[in-house]
């Protein structure tokens, strides 16, 4: 016989603020100016974006700032057809990891400018390696969503 448990459905919200710190503050201020900033490790010859305060490969502090490309390649993506807690905007959304040109990669953002009706319509426009470009919001707040989304440059299949 299966044991029964009393359960109660609930939603816990935890509003909070956190200090962005000097590295993320500089990164977000760059977004206000339509610039994507990264930090470069001269020892490892690697550029990280969003900017990091230290190199995770050699652990050296990073203070070499560079403006990185606003174009890159899709590393992977996922389709969210239903709203969920923390979703940026309203479903459907496509969440993407982009390797901006000349960087280490894994820049997490959204895809737009294509038909988001279903995962199948997205598959027609997007795959690993698809070239994408940042599309900016007109109003900037020093926030990751100052970049409205990344849009495919062309339909390559
Ligand atoms: Zn390094």
pLDDT of 86-112, one tens digit each?
888 899 999 999 999 999 989 999 999
CA distance 89 to 10: 22
How does pLDDT run across 21-78, given as a tens digit for each residue?
999 999 999 999 999 999 999 999 999 999 999 999 999 999 999 999 999 999 999 9
CA 44 to ligand 1 center in whole angstroms: 4
Q: Report every protein residue that has its C-beta within 5 angstroms of ion ligand 1.
A: 41, 43-44, 55, 57-58
CA 57 to ligand 1 center in whole angstroms: 5
> Residue holding tokens 């989304």?
149
CA 143 to ligand 1 center in whole angstroms: 27
CA 66 to ligand 1 center in whole angstroms: 15
CA 95 to ligand 1 center in whole angstroms: 28
| pLDDT beyond 70 at 155 | no
CA 41 to ligand 1 center in whole angstroms: 5
Least confident of 63-72, 122-131, 147-156: 147-156
- Average pLDDT over all residues of the chain: 93
CA distance 104 to 40: 10
pTM: 0.86
Structure-block tokens of residue 65 = 């700032």
CA 46 to ligand 1 center in whole angstroms: 7
Contact 112, 135 (CB under 8 A): yes
Its sign, for the CA torsion 84, 90, 92, 93, is: negative
CA 106 to ligand 1 center in whole angstroms: 17
Burial of 114 by CB count in 10 Å (0-12 exposed, 13-18 middle, 19+ buried)? middle
How does pLDDT run across 109-124, given as a tens digit for each residue?
999 999 999 999 999 9
């Amino acid at each position: 016989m299966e044991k029964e448990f009393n359960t109660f459905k609930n939603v816990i919200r935890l509003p909070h603020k956190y200090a962005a710190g000097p590295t993320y503050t500089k990164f977000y201020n760059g977004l206000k100016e339509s610039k994507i900033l990264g930090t470069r490790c001269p020892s490892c010859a690697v550029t990280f974006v969003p900017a990091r305060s230290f190199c995770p490969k050699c652990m050296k502090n990073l203070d070499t700032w560079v403006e990185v490309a606003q174009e890159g390649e899709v590393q992977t993506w996922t389709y969210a057809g239903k709203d969920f807690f923390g979703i940026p905007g309203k479903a459907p959304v496509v969440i993407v990891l982009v390797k901006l040109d000349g960087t280490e990669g894994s820049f997490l953002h959204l895809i737009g400018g294509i038909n988001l009706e279903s995962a199948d319509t997205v598959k027609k426009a997007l795959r690993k390696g698809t070239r994408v470009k940042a599309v900016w919001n007109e109003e900037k707040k020093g926030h990751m969503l100052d970049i409205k989304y990344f849009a495919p440059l062309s339909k390559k299949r």
